[in-house]
Amino acid sequence: MAEIKTVGVIGAGQMGSGIAHVCALAGYDVHLNDVAQEKLDQGLKTIERNMQRQVARGMIALDAMQAALPRIHISNDLGIVGKSDLIIEAATENEEIKKAIFRSLAPHLAEATLLASNTSSISITRLASTTDRPERFIGLHFMNPAPLMKLVEIIRGIATDVDTYETAARFAQSLGKTTANAEDFPAFIVNRVLVPMINEAIYTLYEGVGTVEAIDTAMRLGANHPMGPLELGDFIGLDTVLSIMNVLHEGLADSKYRPCPLLVKYVEAGWLGRKSGRGFYDYRGEVPVPTR
């Protein structure tokens, strides 16, 4: 089985920074990459702030944080990231962007390097086929926020070999995560169930069945969900929610996965949820305020 000591993470957004955080705490050296320097700086700041919060809550020891932070190196050079034993791609949920990343990465990889994608919905088999190593390619789907959520979904592409699967599963467990295996169908398990529910909540708003507040309160208190579906959509990122709906709609060719036009409108407006300051709620003030 391949030994993992260094982990490359591509994309320093919400997920990439969260994955770098958990890997560094588990003792791995991490190379965090992004095309945007400000995302790298912001990602590192987020990691530091979140680790401090974990120390304050007694979830990790101060010396664990002090040991973990220097293990994270930021860089926008794929040549540096390419030297890692395992590379986890966590860039924007767009198939063309992801394929271009894997193509640019190819010349920098060592023979044994394992490639993984954190995609929420895109076919692992298709992404793997754009690389020179489909047998050493796998889906490692972390949940948001990665430092707190216990699950990693593992998705094997058609060509993924047993050694890659076992190494990836052992790696996820070494981060303190529980794994669930999903077959390589659009959106796998978690998002196949979760994202159509969020889309349905948006239809409920679109059709005037309830207000943002009523829908979220109803699902929090009526279904015992920790967050309402619109709040959750904002938390995930509405661009990501829309991409996942499009993957389900196109991949399964079933009209029940039609993205709600109101979701499309929010994304077109650049109201992507928490990360852009506005979505179904406005986050720019002291407390979130519904935008409809």
* Residues with active-site annotation: 120, 141, 153, 191
156 vs 274, beta carbon nearer ligand NAD: 274
Q: How far is the CB of 10 from ligand NAD (least distance, A)?
A: 5
Q: Could you tell me which of 169, 172, 232, 205 has the C-alpha nearest to residue 292?
A: 205
58 φψ region: left (φ > 0), alpha (ψ -120 to 50), beta (else): left
Q: What is the SS3 assignment for 207?
A: coil
Site residues for ligand NAD per CB under 6 A: 10-16, 33-36, 39, 90-93, 97, 101, 118-120, 141-144, 236-237, 240, 275
At 248, list the tokens: 């389900």
Dihedral sign computed on CA atoms, order 3, 172, 176, 273: positive
User: Which residues have C-beta within 8 Å of that of residue 56, sequence separation ≥ 6?
Assistant: none
Helix axes 212-222, 190-206, angle to 10 degrees: 140
Q: How far is the CB of 144 from ligand NAD (least distance, A)?
A: 3
120 vs 179, beta carbon nearer ligand NAD: 120
Asked whether 152 and 172 are in contact (CB, 8 A), the reply is yes
Q: How far is the CB of 47 from ligand NAD (least distance, A)?
A: 13
Q: How far is the CB of 216 from ligand NAD (least distance, A)?
A: 17
At 170, list the tokens: 């052992």
Asked whether 289 and 282 are in contact (CB, 8 A), the reply is yes
Q: Which residue is nearest to ligand NAD (CB)?
A: 13
124 vs 212, beta carbon nearer ligand NAD: 124
143 vs 260, beta carbon nearer ligand NAD: 143
- CA-CA-CA-CA torsion for 71, 76, 82, 84, nearest 10 degrees? 10
Dihedral sign computed on CA atoms, order 137, 142, 147, 148: negative
33 vs 164, beta carbon nearer ligand NAD: 33
Exposure on the CB side of residue 196, measured as CA atoms within 13 A: 16
Q: How far is the CB of 45 from ligand NAD (least distance, A)?
A: 13
